[in-house]
A and B are shown apart, each in its own frame.
Chain A
């Protein structure tokens, strides 16, 4: 592929298999995470959760706990700025104990005497929406947000008058579920004078500094956050979840305090994917053209009133000038809802696609043909803003076609519920694609400082962290920009608040949001190096900087590459380390797109698609995936190992969302029942069979993003959001539409009228 960066074969670091030197330590269990940090005198803390889902604490007495031998500090909601005596869900934190060991801390929790005034609670969002429902304690009147998050483009009413066919469907609730990354939240907090230090597992050290400093009433420059690595984060480790209680206990005890949440509380205190319901009304011409899309969404979760951006996938993927959305939050007494791998896009893609499939059936169109008809295409501008898209057609169409081709969709497609395999199971085929987010639209908060040392190597620290993968992309971007060898650039092991600011390793934003600052910092260094190399000093080249280029550790004269100096030679002349500095330039075009000039603001989305072939056992409701493919628009692959890691890790998350993940709450008490890995039916490697996964390197499409470094952008969220083909395949197999997820044997049998 040729673009403004030249042919791909010219690259020395970008797109090469650059091994993460910490990878072996991670997979062999030798890598140190926050919970492995053992400062002298460390205490262990446990957190007490409330017994009821909706209550007022009328009294709390910690004297028996404080008297227990080995207990060194106890705090309650009265000491903690973010805790309250008003309880809105079971296990809401009300006290914490630091003791010489975990068992003692755990025993002390039983000795804290708490009395409650129990209030009526409601857990099911459908129940919470009823006018006679108990008030969940979030809004003064009722449980629904007083006004929706609303948007309308074009004229939806007019669009419906132009329609030949109206499709009017309600789908959901999609079930919520918890995160389940390998590493439960861990933090070790300690004080040195009036400075507080944290060693945590985090995907945003700078953000956790902000949250802790604010809660503790401290200036930012006295709060220091270090993260060696994170055993999975996925949108669950970006705020001060357990840090403040650790800091308060540490201050009270005068010793370092360690909290690792037990699995039960970890699953409660983290984010849960929203439970979401959708009412969607579509106006359609007989040929499939959309004339109007009207959507109303309800999502549960009290932390933000439930409102999110579930409509994003359909709004940005389907061509429809007349589009309307209302998003309502439904408060209830379950734990917090929020980012789950991706904020709102998996839920939105799932529910809107169920209606899309129903519309295709109404029109008598093949679902692939229907998507071809309504999807955005090359050369289109963003329908909301009229701004350019960063990749042609956002890659969505290419992803759709690639997925269809790999799975053989056109030859295998059949009408719903008509094909039986020789073994008696029902055969189904499904496809899905949408334009997903990849973060980093703005990103002014990210910056980078690179040190070129006196021997010509580079060391830098990152404000972003290692989330079960190395900073390989940033390293490759620096090496490529400076014409250095990959191994001569080294990122420090700690993501921390001593480094330049990182805006957070979430939202699939790091490739662009951290990649552009390091590229700009590398260009800053390059200008300094070339100024010296072009000079007429000893061994230097006596040309102008514009005459120079660099590759393989050499800075050479473009017109005569045999004349060169090495980076090390230049640095000997410089005589000491130099600094390159760069920041994020904003989401502006690096190259012209259509009539838009360099520097124009853009809309950022990237395509993703999947296709699935399933067999459904009508006797048991069991779904087996026979063939599967996941296709991603990567812009450009900078770090192949990380990119493949995203797609490999995305595969089980996709299957789990489609078929397994399901938080189950006791309908009477609101307590999460399936909090461990026995009750939570997370599919294992045996349930997510790699042998049926047809995804290969050709499924990482390179569309050359108009903003990202070397044309790249993030793929983390798209890699988990495009699972819906599995659900479409199940519905295609059984010929009945299941309108909720996950599609368990129970739901399949119910749909078939057998349960």
Chain B
């Protein structure tokens, strides 16, 4: 535990100026404080920049057919928003299914998108496992206990994207606005984290209004009913011209199940097609020694999400 300076930023300019390679942002604080107390960092940040003191970053509004959510909007406010739940129910459900009421009251959507992975090798104290994410050259989960790690898209690091809202936002085609640019969410996540620069902060999430007739669903499977991260999750957005299926908890980034999407192209969604889409979604899966069960669960969730979409 190192000594840490703490800045209550009052403007985004002040916050970005204070950021750098040895600093971390505090949004809701539910991830960073636990990470610091857990001493998970190989080189812990020595400066914390608090965004809660910057006014006006927690809005939820619709403008010109686009949902705009300030990065500091609380998860509770998002899932309780009638705008979100009526037009973007997959996002409302994803926000509602994060953690516990207390954490949702603290946690922000910006923080939910930018949180660190939950891999227990990465999170072991005192850099006990110097893995790829910490600058090392090994994923300890490959030879170790990989029951919660990736079955799809793993390369170098097999930790899975822990964010539930990212899965729904990917299905809804969101764009992230930062202090420097706009990034389509498909380009935001990378295997070892995200594409943000050291001094860059996510400020807004923009979600285009779904095309008329679009049906949505978000389903999460976790071992516990609360305080738990996804073993697998599925977000679906489907209309007459396109079906998007995004998988969470099974890959380092939100994973587009393109094979299942292509299978459904031009087809109506019924029980048989949904089941087949579930099979297609996991065809590319490469389970490790201990996580074959995640393939079965993901297949089930895809099928159920397609049926449940409304």
Q: Show the binding face of A for B, using Cβ within 8 Å.
A: 51, 102-103, 106-107, 110, 264, 619-622, 660, 664-669, 671, 673-674, 676-679, 681, 683-684, 686-687, 744-746, 749-750, 754-755
Contacts and interface: CB of A to CB of B under 8 A. Distances in A.
B74 to A, nearest CB: 21
B124 interface: yes
Contact of B293 (A102, A681, A684, A750): A750
Nearest to A753: B296
Nearest to A682: B224
Interface in B227-243: 227-229, 231
The 7 closest A-B pairs by CB, nearest first: A619-B300, A755-B293, A673-B120, A686-B225, A746-B293, A103-B1, A686-B226
A684 B300 contact: no
Contacts of B221: 620, 622, 745
A106 B124 CA distance: 15
Interface stretch (B48-56, B142-150, B248-256): B142-150
A687 B226 contact: yes
A561 to B, nearest CB: 58
Contact of B223 (A619, A668, A745): A745
B294 to A, nearest CB: 8
B293 A667 contact: no
Nearest to B232: A620
A683 B228 CA distance: 10
B296 A754 contact: yes
Given A621-B297, A750-B293, A666 B38 contact: no
B133 interface: no
Interface size grouping (class) on chain B: 35 or more
A264 B38 CA distance: 9
27 contacts: A51-B128, A102-B1, A103-B2, A103-B3, A106-B1, A106-B39, A264-B38, A264-B125, A619-B296, A620-B296, A660-B223, A660-B224, A665-B145, A666-B144, A667-B143, A668-B144, A673-B121, A673-B145, A676-B38, A678-B118, A686-B225, A687-B224, A687-B226, A745-B231, A749-B296, A749-B297, A755-B292
Contacts of A676: 38
Contacts of B310: none
A110 B128 CA distance: 12
Nearest to A746: B293
A496 to B, nearest CB: 33
B134 interface: no
A602 to B, nearest CB: 43
A29 to B, nearest CB: 15
A664 B228 contact: no
Contact of A620 (B1, B290, B300): B300
Contacts of A102: 1
Contacts of B90: none
Contacts of A745: 221, 223, 231, 293, 297
A668 B229 contact: no
A660 B297 CA distance: 18
B296 A667 contact: no
Given A103-B3, A684-B226, A674 B120 contact: yes
Nearest to A624: B225
B295 interface: yes
A683 B296 contact: no
B147 A746 contact: yes
Given A666-B121, A671-B124, 6 more contacts: A102-B1, A103-B3, A676-B38, A677-B227, A686-B226, A749-B296
Contact of B145 (A51, A619, A664, A749): A664
B130 interface: no
